[in-house]
Amino acid sequence: MSALTQTTPAAADNDAAPEREWRPPSYWPFVVPALVVVLAIIIFPWLFTIWMSLNEWKVGSPTTFVGFANYLRLPNDPRFVEAVGHTILYTALSVLLPLVFGTLAAVVFHAKFPGRGFLRGVFIMPMMATPVAIALVWTMMFHPQLGVLNYLLSLVGLPPQLWVFHPATVIPSLVLVETWQWTPLVMLIVLGGLAAIPVEPYESAQIDGAGVWQMFRYITLPLITPFLFIAGMIRMIDAVKSFDIIFAITQGGPGSASETINLYLYSVAFIYYDLGYGSAIAVVFFLLIIAMAAMMLHLRQRTLWTEIGGGA
């Protein structure tokens, strides 16, 4: 074929034309290492995961190509459907609560009062602890008979709770641990935002007779919104892939009441050794995360636009 094209002058011209225009850029050898690394550790595993998801692939048995059969299993798998619901609920709560409490804490710690530095330091300590270690501590605190939480409730006359030991309360209880650990992170980010706000708007608001709530609602909140979005994004990514705390405290139980996609995926791939089906779950999970991230970015752009609009 190439021999043929070379014999005709027109084709030879065509071949030569782009070569004259296109010179290999001199930087390409420097790109190659990065390209190889990205291909090897990001692109290849992803393509391989997609390939596995199209196969019946169980450890110890021969693999067979089954097309989309693994994906078709998903909607009919009640455990998966439940896990999606648990993941969404868990993520929503563990984004919202730290945002609310973190913002409150930031407003408190933004004010000047004696011992502020020390208290700030104490407040961010949970963030520095290892999740699995604190999970074990919380497990004992949640114990309905021996745990300290029910003892504290009994001091104020409240009935004992089952916390992570009952299907109805397990997700809120786990979110409590997440919130305890990650509120400080939100606080730090928002605190940075607060420090950047100039004092003039507050002064003029005070002259106009605005109250504390009004100043927070109409000045502070709009100005720290970009920071809240960053905090929300970081929290969302962390919460949706949360594994350590849930696994260490409940292993997805009681029953499967706190089984998120991540935990189910782990069971399917590494306990049932069903790598094909596990890969299908991973692919769907990945798409879900992309969708959530895209939604967040979209929301962020909308708020940026209103900010500009409001400022103009």
Partner 1 sequence: MNDHLISRRALLAGTAAAGALSLTGLPARAEPHWKKYAGTKLEVVLAKGPRGDNLQKYIKEFTDLTGIQVESEQIPEQQQRQKAVIELASGKPSFDVVHVSYHVQKRQFEKAGWLADMTGYMKDPNLTAPDLVESDFSAAGLEYARNDKGQMLSLPWSVDYFILYYNKELFQKKGVAVPKTFDEMVAAAEKLTDAKEGTYGFVGRGLRNANMTLWTNFFLNYGGEFLDSKGNILTDGPEAIQATKLYQTLLTKVAPPGVAGFNWMESMASFTQGRSAMWIDGVGWAPPLEDPAASRVVGKVGYTIVPAGPKGQYSATYGDGLGIAAASKNKEAAYLLCQWAVSKTQGARLLQAGGGVPFRNSILNDPEIQKGVKMPKEWLQSVIDSAKISKLGLPVVIPVAEFRDLVGAAITATLAGADPATELKKAHEQYRPILERSEKA
Of 114-122, 186-194, 222-230, 271-279: span binding partner 1 (CB under 8 A):
271-279
d(CA 188, CA 193): 9
Cβ of residue 167: shortest distance to partner 1, in angstroms? Answer: 6
Q: Which long-range contacts (CB under 8 A, 24 or more apart) does 91-95 make?
A: 91/236, 91/239, 91/240, 91/292, 93/171, 93/172, 93/175, 94/175, 94/178, 94/179, 94/182, 94/235, 94/238, 94/239, 94/242, 95/232, 95/235, 95/236, 95/239
Contact between 155 and partner 1 by CB under 8 A: the answer reads no
Q: CB–CB of 276/189 below 8 Å?
A: no
Cβ of residue 69: shortest distance to partner 1, in angstroms? Answer: 11
Of 10-18, 58-66, 291-299, 303-311: span binding partner 1 (CB under 8 A):
58-66
| Interface with partner 1 (CB under 8 A), residue from 238, 253, 288, 307 | 253
Cβ of residue 77: shortest distance to partner 1, in angstroms? Answer: 8
Q: Which two tokens stand for residue 252?
A: 């997805």
| Interface with partner 1 (CB under 8 A), residue from 183, 250, 260, 262 | 250
Tell me the CA end-to-end span of the chain in Å, nearest whole number.
64
Give the three-class secondary structure for 119: helix
Q: CB–CB of 63/53 below 8 Å?
A: no
Nearer to partner 1, 199 or 271 (CB): 271
Number of C-alpha atoms within 13 angstroms, CB side, residue 97?
Answer: 18
Nearer to partner 1, 79 or 302 (CB): 79
| Interface with partner 1 (CB under 8 A), residue from 79, 116, 217, 302 | 79
The site map against partner 1 for 156-195 (x = CB under 8 A) is ----x-xxxxxx--x-------------------------
Of 32-40, 44-52, 270-278, 296-304: span binding partner 1 (CB under 8 A):
270-278
d(CA 150, CA 158): 8
Query: What residue ranges bind partner 1 (CB under 8 A)?
Result: 56, 58-62, 77-79, 143-146, 160, 162-167, 170, 250-256, 267, 270-273
